[in-house]
Structure formats: structure tokens, C-alpha cells
């Protein structure tokens, strides 16, 4: 294909679909590499190249005007591109930390990578979908590979349990969405988001439909009262997959929630903000009593989802999608690098023994593996929202939209006081690593491989960059 033809392809009918095509093409190449003799060692290169090309595609899209393609089912604009970059970073982090994680399952690494890319494709489609149908395809494309990935360590009971649990509940969530979409369609006669925005949706049929759709999204994001699956599934799933789910899936759910927030009735402001506050409280309290690090971070992720929901609330209340979206993307980007880095480090810690990482097993890590422990401390401080880390500015922007634009200072104060609870468990991780002596019997965690160490260093650097030089990233969005 000539460059001119390519140019035409991507500015015309397929404007803004570059990343989607790149990922889909990558999946095909990976599958081919699977069956062609001698091509197996190309797999990592293919994976990385796919992500890089997709990332460049999104970067290119940032400066382009918004485009509605595929008959209105896909809307490509700068915010889609920004979300896409978040998903790509999440995938890259999960994948890099997954290298060397699997032992028994090593021969199936190829399938693992393909499934991950399929899920990524689903995320990209979700974030850009222009109607309920393409969103549903994205949702399924995201979920189905994840069911398999959760149960990827099939020799282990907890992994299988995790996969099965996620499958059963996830299928339920998908059904909720479909039913909701059907009701909305029955009432309004359209599934296009743009048309739904103008349609009269005050009818109870639509309201029930939207409630079901929102519930399905809250389920994927892990928000109260649909958060109960999170700790079990996250804990049982292979840690790289947990990394992927915690950062990517959550981001995808919120990307679409923000997109459809303007369709929700104004009455949802109060209920959603209460849901957000309860989510923050339950997530933090749950994390406070768990000693398993994966479980703790899973529940802390629930609390973070609650804060992101507050961004959705302010978007709903003010109708200013762009601002809330900017804050949410920033928050999510900081979360991807801090939580992704933290889960990744857990994956590195587990890779030698296969034992779960608990507050006891990381005692004295500061003396034995100072680099890892320092990186983990940075991630914890960022998740807690201490300045100079990305977590702080994300928190600042979300609360700024909430207080200033949405005029909800009360909710902001309750939320931020609830998030002080979170400090209790983030600091406990630091206490265990740096202030308590190591157990004599504990095995020394493996020295991180060069790749894992570099990935952790990149995450730390990104956390600081997001925290100190926000203009680098804010400038990307129009």
C-alpha cells in the first residue's frame, strides 16, 4: 500500500481508527507467529511494536479534529486518544511485569499475549464507541479474554476460582447492560449516543434502562454495591492480569461513564455522589483490615473508583464533560503508573516463590532490596496523594472540578476525610518495608530482572513527572 493510500485510509472513512487497526493487526500477527515455525521468538517484538504503533496513532489523533466514523458507531476525538494512551500504558506495564512471572504456564505465553491484546482492543472500542451496540461489543471484547486470563494459572485453585467468579458475575453485568440498552432503545428508538443526548428520556422505561446501563458500568469499575467481586478476583488472578484489570478495565469503564454522563437525569447527582462516598469508605475500610497486598490494593482501587465517580458526578452536574474528563484522565494516568507499578512490583516479588505477598513477607524489604522498596514507597505515597507525585495533582484536579464547578464542597470534604483512612494502610506498607526488621525465615525475594527493574523505574519517573511537570501532559489535551 502506498503512503498516499494509507493517508487516505486514515483520514477518510477510518479516521481515528489507527490504534484499533494496529492492535487488531498485532493480534493476527501474534497468532501467525504462534503457528509459523521459528517465529515464536518474534512474539515480544510484535507485541511491543503493536503497542508503539497504536500509541503513535493515538498521539497523531490528539491534534486532529474530532471525527465520527463507521456510521456514527465510533467517535474519534482527542479525549478518546488520551484514554487510549492510558489503556496502552496500562497494557504495557502489565505485560512487562508479566515477563518471567509465569513458570508452569510459560509455553502458553503466546496465548496470554493475544488475549491481552484482544482485551485492549475492547477497551479502545469502549472509549470511542458512539452507540450502545459498539460499546457492548467493546465490553465483551474486553471481558471474555479477561475471564480466560484470570484463570490462566489453571493449576492453581485460586486462579481458577477467580476466573470462574469473574465470568459468572461478568456475564451478569453484560446481561444488565444489554437489558438496559434494549429498554432505552424501546423507549427512544435509537442507540446512538448523539441522538440519545437530544432524545426525551424522562420516560420511566428509559430511566430504568439507564439505571441498568450505569449499574453494568459500575460493576466493571468496581463501585459499590457492585464491588464485592473485586478483592477475590484480583487476589486470585495472576498478578500481571490483576495489574491489567485494576488499571485498564477501570479506566475503560470510566471513559464511557463520562461519555454517557450527560444522558443521565439530574436526579442521579445525589444518588451517585452517595454511592461514591460509600464506595470510598468501604474500599478504604476493607483495605485497612487486609494483610495481603494484592487484596489491599484491590480494595484501595475500589476507593479510587469512588473518587473517579465523583468526577463523573461533577460532569453530570455541570454538563462540562471536557473538564471532568481532563481531571479524570489525569487521575487515571497517575493511578495507572502508581497502582500499575505497585502491582507490578508484587508480581516481581511473587515470581520466585509463588507465595502471596503480605505485610509480613515484605518486612525488612528496605534493607534487602532497597530499590524495590523505595519504588514501592513512592507508589504508596502517590496512591495516598502526597504532593510531588502524580496522585496529588490527580486528586487536586478531581476535587477542584468538584468544589469549583460542581459546587459540592461538602461531598469533597467528606470524600477527602474518608481518604485519610487510606493513609493508614499505605503507610503500613512503608512501615513494614522500612521500619520493621525482616523475619528470619522469610526467603529473600528475587533480584528483579533488568526488564522489571527498568519498568519500575519508568513508573517511578512517570509518577514524579505527573506530579511535578503537569504542563507536559495537560498540554496534550485541547
Judged by CB under 8 A, the chain residues 364 through 393 that form the site for another protein are 381, 386-388, 392
Q: How far apart are CA 179 and CA 452, in angstroms?
A: 43
Q: Is 469 in the site for another protein (CB under 8 A)?
A: yes
Check if the beta carbon of residue 341 is closer than 8 Å to that of residue 463.
yes
Q: Nearest approach, Cβ of 400 to another protein (angstroms)? A: 5
Cβ closer to another protein: 205 or 404? Answer: 404
Q: Return phi, psi of residue 369, to 5°.
A: -130, 75
**Which one among 434, 459, 460, 463 touches another protein, defined by CB under 8 A?**
434
Query: By C-alpha distance, which of 347, 118, 348, 129 is closest to 248?
Result: 118
Q: Nearest approach, Cβ of 55 to another protein (angstroms)? A: 23
- Residue 290, Ramachandran bin (φ over 0: left; ψ between -120 and 50: alpha; else beta): beta
Check if the beta carbon of residue 18 is closer than 8 Å to that of residue 57.
yes
**Which one among 186, 270, 435, 461 touches another protein, defined by CB under 8 A?**
435
Q: How far apart are CA 377 and CA 426, in angstroms?
A: 9
Q: Nearest approach, Cβ of 301 to another protein (angstroms)? A: 20
- 76 grid coordinates: 474519534
**Which one among 106, 424, 443, 478 touches another protein, defined by CB under 8 A?**
424
> Which region among 30-38, 54-62, 337-345, 425-433 touches another protein (by CB under 8 A)?
425-433
Judged by CB under 8 A, the chain residues 315 through 334 that form the site for another protein are 320, 322-323, 326-327, 330
Q: Is 457 in the site for another protein (CB under 8 A)?
A: no
Cβ closer to another protein: 10 or 392? Answer: 392
H-state helical runs in 237-356: 239-244, 250-260, 268-288, 293-318, 321-353
What's the angle, vertex CA 330, arms to CA 311 and CA 467, rounded to 5?
Answer: 125
Q: Is 270 in the site for another protein (CB under 8 A)?
A: no
Neighbours of 405 (CB within 10 A): 17
Size of the site for another protein (CB under 8 A): 38
Burial of 246 (0-12, 13-18, 19+ CB in 10 A): buried
**Proportion of the chain in helix, strand, coil states, percent, rounded to 5:** 75, 0, 20
> Which region among 32-40, 76-84, 342-350, 430-438 touches another protein (by CB under 8 A)?
430-438
**Which one among 136, 229, 234, 397 touches another protein, defined by CB under 8 A?**
397
> Which region among 65-73, 186-194, 219-227, 467-475 touches another protein (by CB under 8 A)?
467-475
Cβ closer to another protein: 46 or 438? Answer: 438
Judged by DSSP in three states, 76 sits in: strand
Q: Nearest approach, Cβ of 408 to another protein (angstroms)? A: 11
Q: How far apart are CA 300 and CA 294, in angstroms?
A: 10
**Which one among 40, 404, 442, 458 touches another protein, defined by CB under 8 A?**
404
Q: How far apart are CA 251 and CA 230, in angstroms?
A: 15
**Which one among 169, 321, 423, 465 touches another protein, defined by CB under 8 A?**
423
Give a three-class secondary structure readout of 130-155: CEHHHHHHHHHHHHHHHHHHHCCCCC
**Which one among 100, 110, 356, 470 touches another protein, defined by CB under 8 A?**
470
**Which one among 427, 442, 451, 458 touches another protein, defined by CB under 8 A?**
427
Cβ closer to another protein: 56 or 431? Answer: 431
Q: Is 416 in the site for another protein (CB under 8 A)?
A: yes
Strand extents, DSSP E, 57-123: 67-69, 74-76
Q: Nearest approach, Cβ of 429 to another protein (angstroms)? A: 12
Q: Is 437 in the site for another protein (CB under 8 A)?
A: no
Q: How far apart are CA 253 and CA 235, in angstroms?
A: 20
Q: Over the range 217-232, which residues count as b (16 or more CB within 10 Å of their CB) and which as e? A: bbbbbbbbebbebbbb
Q: Nearest approach, Cβ of 28 to another protein (angstroms)? A: 39
Q: Nearest approach, Cβ of 391 to another protein (angstroms)? A: 11
Judged by CB under 8 A, the chain residues 107 through 146 that form the site for another protein are none
Cβ closer to another protein: 205 or 423? Answer: 423
Q: Using CB under 8 A as the criterion, which residues of the chain lie in contact with another protein when the complex forms?
A: 320, 322-323, 326-327, 330, 381, 386-388, 392, 396-397, 399-401, 403-405, 409, 412-413, 416-417, 419-420, 423-424, 427-428, 431, 434-436, 469-471, 474
Amino acid at each position: 500500500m502506498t503512503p498516499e493510500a494509507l493517508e487516505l485510509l486514515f483520514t477518510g472513512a477510518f479516521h481515528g481508527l489507527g490504534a484499533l487497526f494496529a492492535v487488531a493487526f498485532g493480534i493476527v500477527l501474534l497468532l501467525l507467529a504462534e503457528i509459523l515455525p521459528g517465529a515464536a521468538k518474534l512474539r515480544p517484538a510484535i507485541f511491543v511494536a503493536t503497542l508503539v504503533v497504536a500509541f503513535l496513532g493515538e498521539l497523531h489523533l490528539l491534534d486532529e479534529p474530532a471525527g465520527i466514523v463507521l456510521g456514527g458507531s465510533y467517535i474519534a476525538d482527542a479525549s478518546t486518544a488520551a484514554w487510549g494512551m492510558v489503556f496502552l500504558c496500562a497494557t504495557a506495564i502489565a505485560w512487562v511485569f508479566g515477563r518471567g512471572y509465569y513458570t508452569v504456564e510459560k509455553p502458553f505465553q503466546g496465548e496470554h499475549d493475544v488475549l491481552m491484546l484482544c482485551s485492549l482492543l475492547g477497551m479502545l472500542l469502549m472509549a470511542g464507541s458512539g452507540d450502545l451496540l459498539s460499546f457492548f461489543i467493546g465490553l465483551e471484547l474486553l471481558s471474555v479474554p479477561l475471564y480466560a486470563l484470570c484463570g490462566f494459572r489453571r493449576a492453581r485453585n485460586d486462579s481458577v476460582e477467580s476466573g470462574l467468579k469473574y465470568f459468572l458475575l461478568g456475564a451478569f453485568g453484560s446481561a444488565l447492560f444489554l437489558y438496559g440498552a434494549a429498554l432505552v432503545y424501546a423507549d427512544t428508538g435509537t442507540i446512538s449516543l448523539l441522538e440519545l443526548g437530544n432524545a426525551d428520556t424522562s420516560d420511566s422505561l428509559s430511566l430504568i434502562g439507564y439505571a441498568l446501563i450505569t449499574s453494568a458500568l459500575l460493576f466493571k469499575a468496581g463501585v459499590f454495591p457492585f464491588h464485592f467481586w473485586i478483592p477475590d478476583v484480583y487476589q486470585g488472578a495472576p498478578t500481571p492480569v490483576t495489574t491489567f484489570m485494576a488499571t485498564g478495565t477501570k479506566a475503560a469503564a470510566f471513559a464511557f461513564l463520562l461519555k454517557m454522563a450527560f444522558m443521565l437525569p439530574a436526579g442521579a447527582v445525589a444518588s451517585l455522589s452517595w454511592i461514591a462516598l460509600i464506595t470510598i469508605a468501604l474500599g478504604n475500610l476493607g483495605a485497612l483490615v487486609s494483610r495481603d497486598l494484592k487484596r489491599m490494593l484491590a480494595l484501595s482501587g475500589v476507593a479510587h473508583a469512588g473518587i473517579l465517580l465523583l468526577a463523573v458526578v461533577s460532569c453530570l452536574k455541570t454538563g462540562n464533560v471536557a473538564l471532568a474528563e481532563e481531571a479524570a484522565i489525569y487521575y487515571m494516568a497517575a493511578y495507572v503508573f502508581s497502582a500499575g507499578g505497585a502491582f507490578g512490583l508484587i508480581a516481581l516479588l511473587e515470581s520466585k516463590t509463588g507465595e502471596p505477598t503480605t505485610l509480613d513477607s515484605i518486612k525488612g524489604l528496605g534493607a534487602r532490596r532497597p530499590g524495590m522498596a523505595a519504588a514501592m514507597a513512592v507508589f504508596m505515597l502517590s496512591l495516598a496523594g502526597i504532593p510531588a507525585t502524580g496522585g496529588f495533582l490527580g486528586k487536586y484536579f478531581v476535587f477542584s472540578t468538584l468544589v469549583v464547578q460542581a459546587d459540592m464542597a461538602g461531598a469533597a470534604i467528606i470524600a477527602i476525610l474518608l481518604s485519610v483512612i487510606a493513609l493508614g494502610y499505605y503507610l503500613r506498607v512503608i512501615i513494614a518495608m522500612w521500619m520493621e526488621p525482616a523475619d528470619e525465615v522469610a526467603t529473600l525475594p528475587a533480584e528483579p530482572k533488568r526488564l522489571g527493574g527498568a519498568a519500575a523505574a519508568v513508573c517511578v519517573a512517570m509518577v514524579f513527572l505527573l506530579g511535578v511537570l503537569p504542563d507536559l501532559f495537560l498540554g496534550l489535551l485541547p
